[in-house]
Structure 1
Amino acid sequence: MNRTVKIFHLAALTTAAALYLFAVTDVAAEGARNCAPREAVVTRLAEGYGETRQSIGLGSNNAVIEVFASDETGSWSITVTQPNGVTCLVASGQGYEQLAEALPPQGDDA
C-alpha cells in the first residue's frame, strides 16, 4: 500500500474520533470502566493488545486524541485524555491499516 493511501486512512480514523467527541458532552463521564490515568491505559493497550501510538492530535477543550494500533494483529483503539490526566477509551476495533494518502491535486477554479 502506498504512503499516500496510509495518511488518508489515518486522517479519516482521527476525524471519526473527533466527530465522536463532538457528540459526547463529557467524555470523562462515560464511566469509570472506560477511563483511568493515562499511564494505566497506555500500559493496558501495549501489554494486552500490542498496540502502540500511531497518531496524536489536539481536540476541543485541550483534550489529547490518540490512535493506538497493532500492525501485527490489526487491533486499534482511540483514546481521549482530558487536561486533568484522565484517559478514556472512546472506540476500538479490528482491521487497522496504516495509510498515507495525499490530498487530490487542486483543480483550476478559473
Structure 2
Amino acid sequence: MKPVISALTLALGLGTVAAPAMASDVCMPAQELKASLVDWYGETPVEGQDDGAVQIWASDDTGTWSAVKTLSNGMACVTAQGANWMAGMTTDEMIVASAE
C-alpha cells in the first residue's frame, strides 16, 4: 500500500508543478518566434488580424493559429493558440472556439 500512496503523492505533486508552467505564455526573441511559427507550423501573419497589440498567425494547410504579442524590448510571446483555423474570425472568437 505504501508504494501506491507514494506514487499517487508524486503524481499529484508533479501535476501541481506542471500546470502553471503550461499556462504561461511562450516568449522568445521576436525574429526567432516568428521563424519558428513558419518552420514548425507553416503559419504566416493573417492580413486584417492585427489589432496593434496582438497579431494572428495561421496556416490554412495545418489549420493551426497563434496569437502573437510583440513587445517593445524585441521579444514576442504566443498568448493563445489553437487548431481548426477559420478565416474571418476575430481573435476573441478564435479563443472562445478553441476552448470549447
TM class by shorter chain equals: 0.5 to 0.7
- Tell me which of 41, 45, 50 is aligned to 2:42: 50
In structure 1, what is the equivalent of residue 27 of structure 2? 35
Code of the aligned partner of 2:88: L
**Higher RCO (CA-CA < 8 Å; seq separation 6+):** 1
Identity, in percent, stands at 31
SS in 2 for 1:83: coil
Query: Shift in Å at residue 46 of structure 1?
Result: 0.3
The structure 1 segments of at least 4 consecutive aligned residues displaced by more than 4 Å after TM superposition are none
Distance in 2, matches of 1:58 and 1:75, equals 21
**Gaps in structure 1 of 5+ consecutive residues:** 1-29, 60-64, 101-110
Structure 1 position 97 matched with structure 2 position 77 = no
Aligned residues: 64
Give the TM-score, by structure 1 length.
0.54
Equivalent in 63, 70, 75 of residue 64 of structure 2: 75
CA deviation map 1:59-106 (0-9, x unaligned): 3xxxxx110000111100001111111101111110001127xxxxxx
Q: Which runs of 5 or more residues in structure 2 are unaligned?
A: 1-23, 90-100
Output the aligned Cα RMSD: 1.6
Partners of 2:31 and 2:50 in 1: how far apart? 16
| Aligned-partner residue type, residue 75 of structure 1 | T
TM-score, normalised with respect to structure 2: 0.59
| Bigger Rg, structure 1 or 2 | 2
- Structure 2 match to 1:88: 77
Q: Give 1:25's aligned residue.
A: none
